[in-house]
């Protein structure tokens, strides 16, 4: 047995020992490319484990890890009409369609609209009341708590801290979540709260001031925190909680907007929004859209001026391969200057793909060697060369609207009809390019900002992940530059 065969056999044994039942292995062609083997050798080595209780080979589907029989799924009883109505109202509150302080429709109106009995509507409103989502005053049901709904108090403070004072100026302008923060501030203002922005180092000065005045802000937020230092932030928050206990007050909520490796669970009293999860939501939405529309190949453009965002494409590739193992993924970098610029761009992207951050992303998906990713990297001079070289990959995906606009202008000049012969999509939504009708897949900043605001306000339940993080959504806007296959 050759060295490559030994490595592949060891990899299979590790998969069988550590993998979860039902996990799908890469295709035979992908495994052959990963380990430098022929497909016949891969099939021969897999056949040693197939047919038993550890590995299943299903023609046309792939190879799957087997395991002990799984318990049958628990069938939940069907929801009642009242529960369905309550769930729909709760979804509208989460989405910001219904807002805090707003009156729910009268019972008679809901009866006429939904063709249900008055008792059903009252039960639905009662369920929301039990969850402290609405407050009843007479025959009226309002969203939110009793005190704030009836007697909105004076303006209260929300303190937003940034780790680096020099970066705070871009919080509402050039930061990736700037639209979400603008939405958050408007939502806070609509609910009688004022947002104050301070450097993180100011907490040491503010703690004695709060103790002396016997006052605490309504909530705290930490912008662009390195989650590797999460224990430090927890200790600071513990000091604030102890102060609240000493003053006999409710501890302020803490919202942490962070990047990097996140803790396994979100601690009590802390609302965590992970930028990595936001990127994952967009990558998943994009992958689902491409596969649903019948695309089998696509080119993803990596911008040389921001190579770190290549990790977004690594996640998109993983999501695509999960949905369609045969999907042809190409990462493309443009180097108009030729040889020297091509080498510089290639080296920059190679360095990013070999970083610990990329390795961390890969551990959360199918284990794919970095060399496979590098083999899918293409460096070309211009769009014309790409269009001629990959005639089957007529979906081009860009990180920036500016680069997508360059591709659109090239296509028009070259007589390539968009979207009939070439589809273009971006992951940005820059107002400077609205007039071009670029299709885009991006985070749902309105929903993210709304969730962030109400995590600080309280009273309205927030959608969360299984680990307790704030759940973020993405949206895809089909405009003039995409078509279905």
pLDDT of residue 207: 93
Tokens of 435: 């007039």
Q: Which pTM value belongs to this model?
A: 0.75
Nearest to 185 by CA among 476, 459, 445: 445
pLDDT of residue 451: 93
Tokens of 241: 């909680």
Residue 296: CA count within 13 A, CB half-sphere: 4
β partners of residue 56: 64
Q: Is 348 in contact with 307 (CB distance < 8 Å)?
A: yes
pLDDT of residue 305: 55
Q: How far apart are CA 157 and CA 238, in angstroms?
A: 20
pLDDT of residue 304: 58
Q: What is the separation of C-alpha 428 from the centre of its chain, rounded to a whole number of angstroms?
A: 14
Q: Is 348 in contact with 317 (CB distance < 8 Å)?
A: no
pLDDT of residue 52: 58
- Taken in order of first residue, the domains within the chain and their CATH numbers are 3-65 (1.10.10.10), 81-150 (1.10.10.10), 156-259 (3.40.50), 280-446+471-477 (3.40.50.2300)
pLDDT per residue, tens digit, the chain (485 aa), is 566 777 787 788 778 777 777 778 888 888 888 888 888 888 878 877 765 567 777 776 778 876 544 445 555 677 899 999 999 898 888 777 788 788 899 998 999 888 999 999 999 999 999 988 888 888 889 888 755 444 344 348 999 998 776 778 888 998 999 999 999 999 998 888 999 999 988 999 999 999 999 999 999 999 999 888 888 889 999 999 999 999 998 899 999 999 888 788 888 889 999 999 999 999 999 999 999 999 999 999 987 556 567 889 999 998 998 888 899 999 998 876 666 776 777 777 888 888 777 777 777 676 778 888 889 999 888 999 999 999 999 999 999 999 999 999 999 999 999 999 999 999 999 999 999 999 999 999 999 999 999 999 987 888 888 888 999 999 999 999 997 65
pLDDT of residue 15: 80
Tokens of 356: 């610990």
Would you state the torsion angle of the CA atoms of residues 223, 228, 229, 235, taken in this order, to the nearest 10 degrees?
100
Q: What is the per-residue burial (b if ≥16 Cβ within 10 Å, else e) of 375-398?
A: eebbbbeebeebbeebeebbbbbb
């Amino acid at each position: 047995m050759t060295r490559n065969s030994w490595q592949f056999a060891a990899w299979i044994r590790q998969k069988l020992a550590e993998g979860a039942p039902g996990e799908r292995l890469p295709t035979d062609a992908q495994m052959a490319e990963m380990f430098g083997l022929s497909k016949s050798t891969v099939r021969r080595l897999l056949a040693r484990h197939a047919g038993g209780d550890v590995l299943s080979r299903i023609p046309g589907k792939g190879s799957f890890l087997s395991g002990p029989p799984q318990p049958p799924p628990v069938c939940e009883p069907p929801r009642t009409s009242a529960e369905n109505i309550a769930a729909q109202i709760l979804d509208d509150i989460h989405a910001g369609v219904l807002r805090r302080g707003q009156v729910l429709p009268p019972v008679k109106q809901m009866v006429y609209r939904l063709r249900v009995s008055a008792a059903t509507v009252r039960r639905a409103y009662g369920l929301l009341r039990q969850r402290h989502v609405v407050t009843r005053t007479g025959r009226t049901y309002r969203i939110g708590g009793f005190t704030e709904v009836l007697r909105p108090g004076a303006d209260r403070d929300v303190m937003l801290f940034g780790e680096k004072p020099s970066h705070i100026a871009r919080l509402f302008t050039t930061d990736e979540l700037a639209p979400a923060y603008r939405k958050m501030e408007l939502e806070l203002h609509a609910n009688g709260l004022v947002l104050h922005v301070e450097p993180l180092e100011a907490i040491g000065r503010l703690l004695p001031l709060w103790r002396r005045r016997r006052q605490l802000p309504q909530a705290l937020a930490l912008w662009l925190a390195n989650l590797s230092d999460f224990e430090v932030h927890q200790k600071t928050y513990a000091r604030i909680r102890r102060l609240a206990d000493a003053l006999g007050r409710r501890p302020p909520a803490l919202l942490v907007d962070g990047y990097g490796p996140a803790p396994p669970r979100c601690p009590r009293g802390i609302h965590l929004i992970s930028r990595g999860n936001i990127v994952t939501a967009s990558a998943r939405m994009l992958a689902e859209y491409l596969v649903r529309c019948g695309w089998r190949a696509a080119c993803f453009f990596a911008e040389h001026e921001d190579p770190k965002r290549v990790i977004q494409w690594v996640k998109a590739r993983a999501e695509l391969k999960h949905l369609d193992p045969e999907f042809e993924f190409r990462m493309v970098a443009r180097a108009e200057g030729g040889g020297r610029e091509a080498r510089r761009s290639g080296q920059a992207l190679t360095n990013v793909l070999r970083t610990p951050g990329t390795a961390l992303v890969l551990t959360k998906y199918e284990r794919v060697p970095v060399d496979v990713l590098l083999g899918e990297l293409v460096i070309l001079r211009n769009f014309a060369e790409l269009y001629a070289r990959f005639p089957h990959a007529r979906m081009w995906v860009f990180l920036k609207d500016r680069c997508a606009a360059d591709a659109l202008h090239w296509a028009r000049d070259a007589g390539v009809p968009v979207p009939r012969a070439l589809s273009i999509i971006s992951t940005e939504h820059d107002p400077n390019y609205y007039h071009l009708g670029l299709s885009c897949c991006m985070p749902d900043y309105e929903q993210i900002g709304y969730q962030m605001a109400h995590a600080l306000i309280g009273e309205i339940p927030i959608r969360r992940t299984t680990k307790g993080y704030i759940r973020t959504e993405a949206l895809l806007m089909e405009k003039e530059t995409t078509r279905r296959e």
